């Protein structure tokens, strides 16, 4: 549909997220014109995409998603990077491990 609207101005670059002409989105424009107003309309504080990524990873780990899966999702070279970065979340997960062990062996 976007391609049809752009007509002869469309530039195929194989991008999933692009401008209305098929070109690369300017990161500053994305942050200032799209992302910041979206956060404001939702009543959320101003955050960066990196903070959003960190929040998503933290939520996944708190919901007992396997750290290896989170590591792969984030594109980390090793699971050690993920575990080092998000180690503050992991101690909270120990309670669920104890509960699972108690349930299994009782």
Domain ranges of the chain: 1-45, 47-106
Task: Tell me what pLDDT residue 92 has.
Answer: 66
Give the alpha-carbon dihedral of 14, 57, 73, 27, to 10 degrees. Answer: 20
CA–CA dist 87, 82 (Å, integer)? 8
Task: Tell me what pLDDT residue 88 has.
Answer: 82
Encode pLDDT of 8-60 as tens digits: 888 898 888 888 889 999 999 999 999 999 999 999 999 999 999 999 999 99
Q: What's this model's pTM, rounded to 2 decimal places?
A: 0.64
**Cβ atoms 19, 25 nearer than 8 A:** yes
Encode pLDDT of 64-99 as tens digits: 899 999 999 999 999 999 999 988 877 766 777 778
| Paired tokens of 11 | 């530039």
Reported confidence tier of residue 3, pLDDT bands at 50, 70, 90: confident
């Amino acid at each position: 549909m976007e391609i049809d609207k752009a007509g002869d101005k469309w530039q195929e670059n194989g991008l999933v997220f692009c401008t209305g002409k098929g070109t690369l989105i300017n990161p500053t424009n994305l942050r200032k014109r799209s992302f910041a107003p979206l956060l404001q309309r939702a009543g959320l504080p101003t955050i960066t995409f990196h903070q959003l990524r960190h929040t998503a990873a933290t939520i996944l780990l708190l919901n007992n998603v396997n750290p290896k899966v989170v590591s792969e999702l984030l594109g980390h070279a090793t699971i050690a990077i993920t575990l080092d970065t998000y180690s503050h979340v992991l101690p909270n997960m120990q309670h669920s491990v104890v509960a699972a062990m108690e349930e299994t062996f009782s």
